[in-house]
Amino acid sequence: MSGSYIHHKWLEIQKEMYGGQPRELQKLSDTRWACRYFACRNMMNRLPAVLCVLEDIAEERSGDRSVEARGLLAQIDLPFIGLLTTFCKVLGDTKLLSDMLQSPSLDLARAVELIEALQDTFKNYREESFCDELWRDILNTAQKCNISIENVEKRQRKTSSRLQGSVVTSTVGGHRSDQDDKDGFRKNIFYPILDSVIGELQKRFSKPNCNIMRGVQALHPNSNSFLQESPFFSFAEIYESDLDDLKHELHQAKRILERKRKEGMQSLTSILEFTVFLEPFKEVFHELFRLCKIAIAIPVSTASCERSFSTLKLIKNHLRTTMSDERLSDLGVHSVESRRAKSLDMDEFIRLFGSQHKNRRIQLF
């Protein structure tokens, strides 16, 4: 749909069939799962229009373009709609968790609750009643798109005579007709997808990982579980801390925080500020300070890396191709940390630079 001729036809057919603002079909992304959901959603909502465009192109007999359109039409059948409907449902549910984990104001304890709820939801999807409802949605979509929903007569499979006396669990070739009925869809498409998603959730968010997330959140001053023993001790056990000493340290840390607040100290707003607050007492609060440093280093995301690549395009343009790597790295750090860079006193930097290079021809001050 990206070509100029086809794209114009795509927009015109959408206006005729739906009216209003037309939608674009998005390309799949290997890194952003939210883009995959939007791509499946737009494809599902505009599937009749996609079929109409492909049929018009196939009837034009315009060489390779028509051949490719007929090939795509042959692939859009009942199993395709089953896959599309399944992924719209599954990816739509996981998008909520993905958005929450990428939120700047992320609450790790609530994220764990959402993870557990999502796992329970996917396990409930294995019930036969949900599969029946999903299959009805697939059939309704197929009828709207004028796609045949009749079961293909299955050919009797024959096992090779060389394999007599052996147990054959699966064959090399895929039998697409096994996916054209409800039972085949449930066993060959829906259940494998659910099992894969559930397995990945259990792998990425195992019980130790969830305990770490709760423990990190217990070190956040704005959290409801700030310095509570139950989530924090589970986190401390993973890193082999002395729980007896840690219990006394938590008690004394709470008393010091209360005393400092009464003296007019501003409330702490992040784990980093809490770690800086404990640094003068790091010899006394040895275990607590060590766990704070671990909590700062663990929840590292790729946001800084992505901002660095975005900044690189702005800094190193076609007029600055001869810039050295060291200067490019320094300018990138200044651009990424622009808020902190703007708060610096540039006059002080100029005085320091001028005092170290007194033989300059141009006096800076």
- 347-360 pLDDT, tens digit each: 888 888 777 776 66
Q: For 82-108, what is the mean pLDDT?
A: 85
Question: Are residues 46 and 20 in contact, defined by beta-carbon separation less than 8 angstroms?
Answer: no
Residue 170 is predicted with a pLDDT of 60
Give percent of the chain above pLDDT 70.
Answer: 84
For residues 86 and 224, membership in a common domain is answered with no
Residue 155 included in any domain: no
For residues 96 and 134, membership in a common domain is answered with yes
Asked if residue 62 has pLDDT above 60, the reply is yes
For residues 33 and 144, membership in a common domain is answered with yes
pLDDT bucket at 31, cuts 50 / 70 / 90? low
Residue 167 included in any domain: no
Q: For 83-107, what is the mean pLDDT?
A: 85
Q: For 56-72, what is the mean pLDDT?
A: 84
Q: Give the residue numbers spanning the domain of 196.
A: 4-150+178-204
Asked if residue 203 has pLDDT above 60, the reply is yes
Residue 162 included in any domain: no
Asked if residue 150 has pLDDT above 70, the reply is no
For residues 314 and 283, membership in a common domain is answered with no
Residue 361 included in any domain: no
pTM over 0.75: no
For residues 127 and 220, membership in a common domain is answered with no
For residues 251 and 325, membership in a common domain is answered with no
- 311-350 pLDDT, tens digit each: 677 777 777 778 888 888 888 888 777 788 888 888 888 8
For residues 274 and 230, membership in a common domain is answered with yes
Q: Which of 253, 282, 297 is the last residue of a domain?
A: 297
Residue 16 is predicted with a pLDDT of 85
For residues 9 and 137, membership in a common domain is answered with yes
Give percent of the chain above pLDDT 90.
Answer: 1
For residues 22 and 135, membership in a common domain is answered with yes
Asked if residue 157 has pLDDT above 60, the reply is no
Residue 165 included in any domain: no
- Tally of domains within the chain: 3
Q: Which of 266, 297, 328 is the last residue of a domain?
A: 297
- 218-255 pLDDT, tens digit each: 888 888 888 888 888 888 888 888 888 888 888 888 89
* Mean pLDDT over each residue of the chain, to the nearest integer: 81
Residue 170 included in any domain: no
Residue 365 included in any domain: no
Asked if residue 113 has pLDDT above 70, the reply is yes
Q: Which of 186, 204, 222 is the last residue of a domain?
A: 204
Q: For 177-188, what is the mean pLDDT?
A: 74
Q: For 192-217, what is the mean pLDDT?
A: 89
Asked if residue 154 has pLDDT above 60, the reply is no
For residues 219 and 287, membership in a common domain is answered with yes
Residue 155 is predicted with a pLDDT of 47
Q: For 87-113, what is the mean pLDDT?
A: 85
For residues 70 and 133, membership in a common domain is answered with yes
Residue 173 included in any domain: no
For residues 93 and 128, membership in a common domain is answered with yes
- 267-312 pLDDT, tens digit each: 888 888 888 888 888 888 888 999 988 888 886 555 556 666 666 7
